[in-house]
Structure 1
Amino acid sequence: MVTLEQSQPKAGERAYAQLLDEIQSGALPAGTVLAEMEQAARLHVSRTPLREALRRLVADGLVVQQSPRVTVVAPIDAHDIRALFEMRRALEESAARIAAERGDAARFAALADELTAARLDGETGRDAYYDLISRFDVELDRAVANDYIASALRTVRAHLVRVRRMARDRPERLTASVAEHLLIARALAARDGDLAAHATHVHLHNALASILANLENEGSA
Structure 2
Amino acid sequence: MSLDGATHGRAGERAYATLLHEIQTGDLAPGTVLGEVEQAARLGVSRTPLREALGRLAADGLVTQVSPRVTVVADLHAAGIRELFEVRRALEETAARLAAQRGDRAVFAHLVRDFGEVRPDRDADAYYALIGRFDREIDDAVANDYLTAALRTVRTHLVRVRRLARDNPARLSASAAEHRQIAAAIAAGDGELAAHATHVHLHNALISILASLADADTPHRGAA
**Could you say which TM-score interval applies, normalised by the shorter chain?**
over 0.9
Task: Show the counterpart of 2:181.
Answer: 183
Deviations 1:81-109 (A, max 9, x none): 10010011111001110111011111111
Distance in 2 between residues matched to 1:97 and 1:61, nearest whole Å: 28
1:185-215 Cα deviation digits (max 9, x unpaired): 1111111101100000000000000011111
Residue 43 of structure 1: how far off its partner (Å): 0.9
- Secondary structure of 1:27's counterpart equals coil
Q: What amino acid sits opposite 1:81 in the alignment?
A: I
Give the alignment of 1:56-95 within 5 angstroms.
Answer: 56-95=56-95
Mapped partners of 1:104, 1:11: distance in 2 = 40
- C-alpha offsets along residues 169-190 of structure 1, whole Å, 9 cap, x if unaligned? 0010000000000000111111
Pairing partner for 1:145 from 143, 146, 153:
143
Kindly report which structure 2 residues correspond to 1:116-127, keeping only aligned pairs within 5 A, or say none: 116-122=116-122, 125-127=123-125
SS of 1:65's equivalent in the other structure is strand
Tell me by how many angstroms 1:4 deviates. 2.2
Q: SS at 1:40's partner residue?
A: helix
Q: Which amino acid aligns with 1:29?
A: A
Partner of 2:207: 209
Q: Offset of 1:41 from its aligned partner? A: 1.0
Give the Cα–Cα distance (whole angstroms) in 1 for the partners of residues 56 and 138 of structure 2. Answer: 25
Other-structure match for 2:105: 105
State the one-letter code of the partner of 2:203: H
Shift of residue 5, structure 1, vs aligned partner: 1.8
Runs of 5+ in structure 1 lacking a partner? none
* SS of 2:158 mapped into structure 1: helix
TM-score, with length taken from structure 1 = 0.96
Aligned to 2:161: 163
SS in 2 for 1:34: strand
1:163 positional shift: 0.5
Q: In 2, distance between residues paired with 1:8 and 1:219?
A: 41
Q: What letter corresponds to residue 199 of structure 2 in structure 1? A: H
Moved more, 195-204 or 107-116: 107-116
Distance of 1:152 and 1:80 partners within structure 2: 17
Specify the alignment match of 2:45 in structure 1.
45
**CA distance 1:121–1:166, change in 2 (3 Å):** closer
> For residues 202 and 103 of structure 2, what CA distance do their matches in structure 1 show?
21
Find out whether 1:131 has 2:124 as its counterpart. no
Q: TM-score, normalised by structure 2?
A: 0.94
Task: Write out per-residue CA displacement over residues 138-170 of structure 1, whole angstroms, 9 at most, x where no aligned residue.
Answer: 110111111111111111111111100111100
Measure the CA separation in 2 of the matches of 1:89 and 1:121: 25
Percent sequence identity over aligned pairs:
66
Do the aligned residues in 1 keep the contact of 2:121 with 2:173 (CA within 8 Å)?
Answer: no
Unaligned runs of 5+ in 2: none
